[in-house]
Amino acid sequence: MTTAKVFLDKISGKIKPMNAANNGPAGSRIRQTGNFKDYAALNIPYARLHDSSFYAGNYGGEFAVDVHRIFPDFSKDENEPSSYIFEPTDGYLQDIESAGTKVFYRLGASIEHGYKRGTYPPADFAKWARICEHMILHYTQGWANGYHMDIEYWEIWNEPDCRNRNGENPCWQGTEEQFYDFYEVVAKYLKTKFPSLKIGGPAFCSSKSYMAEPFLSEMQKRNVPIDFYSFHRYSNVVEKYVEVVEVADMQRKKYGYENAELHLNEWNYVKGWAGDDYTYSLATQKNLKGSAFVSAVMLTMQKTKLDMLSYYDLRPSGWNGVFEMYTSKPLKPYYSFKAFSEIAKLKNELLSETEDDVYIIASQDGDEACVVVTRYDDNDEADVKDIAIDFSTEKTCKKITIEYYVIDENHNLELVREEYFSAPDFRVYIKMPNFNTYMLKIRKEY
């Protein structure tokens, strides 16, 4: 028997945006195709814009998001609106906002595994910063027939430390020293121009990257502002996500960035990057096991010092485990995101405890509470477990109603049972096969 505990009425903090993601809805609002309705139902708090230009069907295609795509001719005058191609990105950002999601803008280039164009160091770092300034002005202050969108986060670059198996870097064609110089110029300039916005980065492959501490050390020496420190992690082991957050927390304290937010803004199930393990990973991202993994990571990260967790990817692609690529129909992990959105609605995290390969989080607002508990063991042959959840309340209730919703092979977060209690302390039992997730909705009557 595995035991978990939930302490109703004991608030331990706020629910954080652990259900953010990369990229927005896809399809056509005009022709009513795609996943706009289902995307909106997830209440995704932030959509990070990375690799957006790879999806030509809806995101503006090759002219969207990336700095070198919006400003394609670097020789032109950055002060002239005619030097920019804003329209494709305009439409994409409006689609994201239409789903009730806020934009998290990555300034830089999509990954380039083949021909390199946008990942070279800019010829003039200061001019590149001024181009970004005008992009920000367009989307937040109406410059060049623009908008007044509430875009708080602006991230400088993506994975300058990335290395393919052949040693090639698909994201930064310069040296490490060039990147430090580049980041310094851009961060200082943008923070001076937009002190109320959050400027950060640089989206390392991991906080354990060979570049991470040298970068932070250099930024500290140069007095470069960092409002958020971002990094990535791909693994099939939940504890490895905890590890990179702990390392990042240590690093920000060591180098004087104690107030910088921690953002793990790319993650997904990856058992291995080549051969059968890679094929298995892509399939798992979309099935029931992938659903349990998504829940386990989100629930665990809520209890760490991480400030934002952004899944990769909701763009129609092989990496999208939430929507089927061609039909846009929800896949099993969709319902894990849906369950966390129910947790997030209640805003206040409750104190909870668990053990072994069982993960739990709980939230409460007034007389309503919500609990999500998932079973994730990467071993596909793991046995069924009996789980007991002990509840305690600080106030005696006349009646406590618990509704059980399950994600399993036959149910997509559907109601399967109800129970009623009146004692201040009580226990519920769940028979939990591996990869199942339960959401418990709780109503208290006094």
User: Three-class SS of residue 324?
Assistant: coil
At 76-92, the pLDDT tens digits run 999 999 999 999 999 99
Mean pLDDT of the chain: 96
Give φ, ψ of 329 to 5 degrees: -70, 145
Backbone angles phi, psi at 50, to 5 degrees: -140, 140
pLDDT band at 10 (very low <50, low <70, confident <90, very high): very high
Question: Where do we find the tokens 């096991």?
Answer: 289
Burial of 300 (0-12, 13-18, 19+ CB in 10 A): buried
Torsion from C-alpha of 134, 46, 313, 332, nearest 10 degrees: -160
Full set of structural domains in the chain with CATH:
16-347 (3.20.20.80), 349-445 (2.60.40.1180)
Distance CA 372, CA 350 (A): 12
Residue 62's pLDDT is what? 86
Mean of pLDDT values over 135-162: 98
Give the model confidence (pLDDT) of 391-446 as tens digits. Answer: 999 888 889 999 999 999 999 999 999 999 988 999 999 999 999 999 999 999 98
Q: Please identify which residue in the block is written with the tokens 């490490």.
A: 176
Task: Tell me how far apart the alpha carbons of residues 101 and 381 are, in angstroms, rounded to a whole number.
Answer: 38
**pLDDT tens digit string along 108-139?**
999 999 999 999 999 999 999 999 999 999 99
What stretches of 70-224 adopt beta strand conformation (E)?
102-107, 153-156, 198-204
**CA 218/CA 197 separation, integer angstroms:** 22
Alpha carbon distance 350, 440 (integer Å): 14
Report the distance separating Cα 54 and Cα 61, nearest Å.
6
- Give residue-wise pLDDT tens across range 242-268: 999 999 999 999 999 999 999 999 999
Q: Name the burial class of residue 240, with classes exposed (0-12), middle (13-18) and buried (19+) by CB atoms within 10 angstroms of its CB.
A: middle
Cβ atoms of 206 and 242 within 8 Å: the answer is no
Q: In a 3-state reduction of DSSP, which class is residue 195? A: coil
First-last CA distance in the chain: 32
